[in-house]
Amino acid sequence: MIYRPNPKRGRTTLLLMGAFIFAAEIAAGILIDHAPMRIRFPQLAQVLEMARQLKPSKKILFLGSSRFGNAVSAEAITEVLHQANVGDGVTVFKANIGASDPVVMDFETDKLLAADILPSMAVIEILPEVLSRRNLWLNFHLGRQLRWPEVWNALPDVYLAGTLYLAVTTRFNAIYTFRSEFQQWAMDGLKLRFESSNFADANTRKRRRANRAAPADVEVLLRGAASGRKNVRGYEIGGLNTRALIRMIERYSQLGTTIVFVAPPVSSPYRAAYGSPVDAAYLAYMQQLGKTYGTYFFDYRHRLSDHHFWTPYYTTTDGKLHFSRLLAREVIVPLIAGHKTSMSSRALPPSDNPSATAAEGQSLPDAGSRRGG
Amino acid sequence: MLFHSVEFFLLFSGTFIGYWLMPQHRLRMLWLLGASFAFYGSWNPWLMFVVVFSAAFDFLIAQRIETSPSPKARRLLLIVSICVSLGILGFFKYTNFLLDSAVSTFNLFGFDYRHPAFRIVLPLGISFYTFETISYVMDVYRGRLRAERSFMDYALFIMFFPHLIAGPIVRPKHFLSQVPRAKRFDWNRLELGARLFLLGLVKKTVIADHMPAIVDPVFASPSEFSTEAVWMAVLCYATQIYCDFSGYSDMAVGTAHAFGFKLPQNFNLPYAACNIAEFWRRWHISLSTWLRDYLYIPLGGNRHGTLATYRNLILTMLLGGLWHGAAWSFVLWGFYHGSLLAAHRFFSSRSRSSEGPFKPMRIAFTFLCVCIGWVLFRAQSMTDAWLLLRRMFIPTEGQMFASAEVAIALAAWTAVLLGHLVSSYLDMRSALRWLPAPVMATGMAVVFLFVQVLMPHRGGAFIYFQF
């Protein structure tokens, strides 16, 4: 048979191919909203898996980002609770997730409650940058938990955060965006195990362990000032983060969970980068939350000296233990023991930091009195 | 800006639409040149001046060569041109290598000499466009080509973005003749380009980019791995470098088709070669033919007796090795291939034809020789290369990969083997012509979606970008 080139063949092929690809991408963008958690948000799937294995007990839940995860030692806190004779039947559970902010914590709360994991106390990381309308972690949220309708609602924030491009690729190129998760899911399904990543991970782990034990150089800490300034550029409280925060507070309040906000320790250059106007707005907002919802707020940002950090905001191993013990002694033990009014004076930090003093002075008595009442 | 990035997709789309909407041919060429500058400038806009200087200098020299009546003056101009081109290449690529080598030599004789480290940024694609400018001037000198009068056309020959960074090394006669020819939009040609691009994308992202998980740990610390793991890594590197580079070439050729240009084929099933000479006729064809025409033949080729032929083969490949990178391991790799070519020439007169029952064994032996070469090419030092070769041939205990890596390696090898087998016995381009358009479209769409799913999280740059 003789081949006769059809001049329209190329056009038909390419146009049909384009149409098929477009349809597949749109379908994937819709279907991904209904994908299992291990594809959409594997880190949360892991946390939920661990939470389901907890024994029935009073649970103290720590919600926050990797910064909080790095600063909190569940073992050290449990040890202090036992020393204070309030640790029986209490489980400290770290549910921190990398790049987490109130939007993630609210979503996580949804899933934890749906899995019948009801904490008696929720210790929530809160720093000025996670209240900013310019959401720094929106690029993660778009991929991890926001669905089509939520993306529409969040469009102003998406634009402000400069993540419009990512929103488009997540919704219209979901196959590419979630490829790693699909691959991992397939590997798990086929029961295939990777070794080469372990070779690399072993070195990374070794390096991280070494890093975590040693305090950071001054230059490293000073670099934190730059990132700190960047995080609070054009600072304005509001947007997705505060909406999510209030939703989470309301839900926990309804269930009788004690809500404790903690600003974790950060190095002095990072702290200084916030500046007075940001600090004032942040502390006023936290005070307002306390007044409105009866939440507690403890500002630990300045409680560790700079030699306790291996990056501008990650604590060393020593720093982690020190902070965990402080937090347990000054906040968790009194709250469990029910000494809410007396604990406020013990939890007060040294008065060398005006912002911290203001925070404690304003939020604790109000919160304590309303809770106590 | 990598071919498999969104940035490239945007640049290509804008250029493509603008190009075909333009009514005038000259405007189209100017538009293409502008896009090529944008493509190169996205890496480092300052280094564009190096390309432009190199191109402009040789453009002017070629015109002087053509108009100069005196053979002596013509020769002198040719030498000046080659010296300037190689001087630029040498400065950017070999300064630190030469200084380090000099220091090592001094230290060997007991002199404590150190030199300050120069932080020289290597302009992308310098090895490729230097060879293109040299071939242009030499062709004009030999009278095979008329010196180009339009600097825009000449600049497009050097700068045309599909081949600018990593080839194929385009011959001036082949490309410059296409520039003035009016271009007509052709859907069928666009489909061919899309198919080639897709094939390159599969090779690069689905196969090559998964290989570093197996290759990198072994080449980083060879002493920790078992013989099986080292073999696996070497075979995976052979797969990676083939799929990475031929994938790039396929994408370059495919992209050029979209603008109505034809670039030369750069790979032709190299691992199906029956001997090392055939391998070099199938691997990086544009470089091996360049080396043959502009180095091996001018050196004397096979015209001055057996020993001179061997010397020329070894010298050509040694310089070809050095062209790849500024390290002694590349020189050794070139010498190794030169020696293999000399040995093949010596034995080929005594052996039978490559067809027959021993063909699979010949292919396997050639592939083994090539793989040994890849060890020299990829190893981080001579000591590592020696260690790897020892482990390949002397059974040694050590770490081995887990099930996932083995599965990935097997899948990649199967894909390459099948690709070689099918293409050896079937003319794919003719076969695909018979497929109905909807079937073809579905197939291409499925492959594209498949690429997206299987792309690794962090795709690497093309290996040949570093050369």
pLDDT digit string (tens) for A291-318? Answer: 999 999 999 999 999 999 988 889 999 9
pLDDT digits (tens, 9 = 90+) for B449-458: 989 888 887 6
Cα dist from A331 to A32, A256, A346, whole Å: 41, 18, 8
Catalytic residue among B284, B324, B337, B344: B324
Q: Is B324 a catalytic residue?
A: yes
pLDDT attached to residue A360: 37
d(CA B253, CA B196): 7
Domain map (residue ranges) of chain A: 54-132+194-372
Phi and psi at B154, nearest 5°, equal -65, -40
d(CA B333, CA A269): 52
- Across-strand partners of A62? A94, A123
pLDDT attached to residue A240: 84
For residue B355, give both structure tokens: 């067809």
Q: Which residue in A5, A191, A200 is closest to B188 by CB distance?
A: A5
Cα dist from A216 to A213, A307, A317, B103, B367, whole Å: 9, 7, 12, 36, 51
Is a pLDDT exceeding 60 seen at residue A365? Answer: no
Determine the average pLDDT of the residues in B321-327. 86
Average pLDDT, chain A: 81
Is a pLDDT exceeding 50 seen at residue A349? Answer: no
B438 with A14: Cβ contact below 8 A: no
pLDDT digits (tens, 9 = 90+) for A88-119: 889 999 999 988 889 899 999 999 999 888 99
d(CA A251, CA A97): 20
How many CB atoms within 10 Å of residue B365?
14
* Helix, strand, coil percent content, chain B, rounded in steps of 5: 75, 0, 25
pLDDT attached to residue B465: 63
User: Which amino acid, B171?
Assistant: R
B400 with A7: Cβ contact below 8 A: no
pLDDT attached to residue B140: 93
Reduced to 3 states, what is the DSSP secondary structure of residue B272? helix
A12 with B437: Cβ contact below 8 A: yes
**∠ CA B360-B363-B364 to the nearest 5 degrees?**
85
pLDDT attached to residue B355: 64
Q: Which residue in A12, A21, A182 is closest to B453 by CB distance?
A: A182
- A222 Cβ contact partners less than 8 Å away, ≥ 6 residues apart: A269
Q: Give the pLDDT band (50/70/90) at residue A122.
A: very high
Phi and psi at A77, nearest 5°, equal -65, -45
Cα dist from B290 to A286, B134, B370, B443, whole Å: 71, 10, 20, 37
> What pTM did the predictor assign?
0.78
Phi and psi at B133, nearest 5°, equal -70, -40
For residue B367, give both structure tokens: 């592939």
Reduced to 3 states, what is the DSSP secondary structure of residue A266? coil
| Mutation for testing the A interface, residue in B406, B452, B453, B455 having most A CBs under 10 Å | B452
Determine the average pLDDT of the residues in B223-240. 93
d(CA A6, nearest CA chain B) in Å? 8
Nearest C-alpha neighbor of A136 from the set A118, A117, A156, A157: A157
Q: Is A35 on the interface with B (CB under 8 A)?
A: no
Is a pLDDT exceeding 60 seen at residue B91? Answer: yes
Give me the DSSP letters along B368-403: HHHHHHHHHHH-SSHHHHHHHHHHHHS----B---H
User: Chain B: residue nearest A16 by CA?
Assistant: B441
d(CA B346, CA B356): 21
pLDDT attached to residue A358: 32
pLDDT digits (tens, 9 = 90+) for A39-80: 888 889 999 999 998 888 889 999 999 999 999 999 999 999
- Percent residues over pLDDT 70 in chain A: 84
Is a pLDDT exceeding 70 seen at residue A22? Answer: yes
Contacts of A7 in chain B (CB under 8 A): 187-188
Domain map (residue ranges) of chain B: 6-183, 188-274+354-466
pLDDT digits (tens, 9 = 90+) for B409-428: 899 999 999 999 888 888 87
B452 with A175: Cβ contact below 8 A: yes
pLDDT attached to residue A342: 45
CA B413 from centroid of its chain's CA atoms: 21
- B117 Cβ contact partners less than 8 Å away, ≥ 6 residues apart: B96
pLDDT attached to residue B110: 77
Q: Give the pLDDT band (50/70/90) at residue B354.
A: low
A196 with B214: Cβ contact below 8 A: yes
Q: Is B433 on the interface with A (CB under 8 A)?
A: yes
Number of A:B CB contacts under 8 A? Answer: 103
Determine the average pLDDT of the residues in B45-57. 88
Average pLDDT, chain B: 88
pLDDT attached to residue A39: 81
How many CB atoms within 10 Å of residue A365?
15
Chain A residues 116-145 with a CB less than 8 Å from chain B = none
Query: Which architecture does CATH list for A54-132+194-372?
Result: 3-Layer(aba) Sandwich (3.40)
pLDDT digits (tens, 9 = 90+) for A214-248: 777 777 778 778 878 888 888 999 888 899 999 99
pLDDT attached to residue A3: 63
Q: Give the pLDDT band (50/70/90) at residue A207.
A: low
Could you tell me if A237 and A281 are in contact, meaning their C-beta atoms sit under 8 angstroms apart? Answer: yes
For residue A114, give both structure tokens: 């749906």
pLDDT attached to residue B373: 94
For residue A99, give both structure tokens: 């790049």
Determine the average pLDDT of the residues in A334-355. 51
Is a pLDDT exceeding 90 seen at residue A355? Answer: no
- B267 Cβ contact partners less than 8 Å away, ≥ 6 residues apart: B242, B245, B246, B249, B282, B283, B284, B285
Nearest C-alpha neighbor of B78 from the set B64, B92, B67, B90: B64
d(CA B336, CA A372): 83
pLDDT attached to residue A198: 54
For residue A23, give both structure tokens: 């349809």
Number of helices (H), then strands (E), belonging to chain B: the values are 21, 0
Contacts of A164 in chain B (CB under 8 A): none
Contacts of B192 in chain A (CB under 8 A): 10
- B2 Cβ contact partners less than 8 Å away, ≥ 6 residues apart: B8, B459, B461, B462
Q: Give the pLDDT band (50/70/90) at residue A373.
A: very low
| 3-state SS string for chain A | CCCCCCCCHHHHHHHHHHHHHHHHHHHHHHHHHHCCHHHHCHHHHHHHHHHHCCCCCEEEEEECCHHHHHHCCHHHHHHHHHHCCCCCCEEEEECCCCCCCHHHHHHHHHHHHHCCCCCCEEEEECCHHHHECCCCCHHHHHHHCCCHHHHHHCHHHHHHCCCHHHHHHHHHCHHHHCHHHHHHHHHHHCCCCCCHHHHHHHHHHHHHHHHHHCCCCHHHHHHHHHHHHHHCCCCCECCHHHHHHHHHHHHHHHCCCEEEEEECCCCHHHHHCCHHHHHHHHHHHHHHHHHHHCCEEEECCCCCCHHHECCCCCECHHHHHHHHHHHHHHHHHHHHHCCHHHHHHHHCCCCCCHHHHHHHHHHHHHHHHHHHC
Determine the average pLDDT of the residues in A141-168. 78
B404 with A17: Cβ contact below 8 A: no
Determine the average pLDDT of the residues in B206-231. 90
Determine the average pLDDT of the residues in B13-32. 93
pLDDT digits (tens, 9 = 90+) for B143-196: 888 999 999 999 999 999 998 887 789 999 999 999 999 889 999 899 999 999
Longest dimension (CA), chain B: 74
